[in-house]
Structure 1
Amino acid sequence: MSLSQEKIGNVLVVSTAGQINSANAAQLESQLLAIVEQGEHQWVLDMGQLDYISSAGLRVVLLLAKRLKQSAGRLVLCNLQPHVHEVFDISGFLSILTVVDSRATALAFE
């Protein structure tokens, strides 16, 4: 699991790669929430290089979304691989999170 981030305008784009599973979810959670605490409230989570996400990983994404909502922020997910998209669909997360196809669409999302 690796993260990279870049600031585009007032939006922080965080890209994930590899796998989010029970072995690394707690570390990922602390990394992401620390960034929120630093004042980043407009997020795009680009999952184009994410190969796998477990229920522990879904929990981290949901926690991030809730924390951003509490601070009047926004989270938009993009570029989900088909099998990752299926996990979000089966879990019901597609109905509660904003998921778009591309980074460009995510950045334009209001």
Structure 2
Amino acid sequence: MDITESSVSGVKVAALKGRLDTATAPAAEGAILGMLEGGSKVVADLAEVHYVSSAGLRVLLKAAKQAKAGGGSFAVASPQAPVREVLEISGFDKILSIHATRDAAVAGLA
């Protein structure tokens, strides 16, 4: 998993690439939760993530909970069809703020 951090309009963006599974979840969790410190606004861009396991879902849920508890906000951007299907089947589309594009997610948090 590659994680690229950037900032757009005051919103931090974590662009993930690869699989979000048991092997890569700890690195993704560390990066995203670190970006959320101090009540930040963070978007997890999943445009280049083609697989998410239950460990990956846990990372996204933990990020959303930490954002809410810390006065920040968290959104997911650009999930590909297989990832979006997992988010929908698991009901995470009702828990997380999910946007079709990175720009839409940033605009939603800015």
Contact residue 20 and residue 54 of structure 1 kept, 8 A: yes
- Percent identity over paired residues: 35
Amino acid at match of 2:72: G
Matched with 2:16 is 16
Alignment of 1:1-110 (within 5 A): 1-37=1-37, 39=38, 41-110=40-109
Structure 1 unpaired stretches of 5+? none
Q: Say if 1:103 and 1:31 are closer, same or farther in 2 by CA, change over 3 A.
A: closer
Q: Which shows bigger deviation, 92-101 or 40-49? A: 40-49
User: TM-score under structure 1 normalisation?
Assistant: 0.91
Contact residue 12 and residue 40 of structure 1 kept, 8 A: no
User: TM-score under structure 2 normalisation?
Assistant: 0.91
Provide the secondary structure at the position in 1 that maps to 2:71: coil
Number of matched pairs = 109
C-alpha distance in 2 between matches for 1:6 and 1:31: 12
C-alpha distance in 2 between matches for 1:48 and 1:8: 16
Provide the secondary structure at the position in 2 that maps to 1:67: helix
Over aligned residues, Cα RMSD in angstroms? Answer: 1.3
Provide the secondary structure at the position in 2 that maps to 1:5: strand
Provide the secondary structure at the position in 1 that maps to 2:23: coil
Amino acid at match of 2:60: V
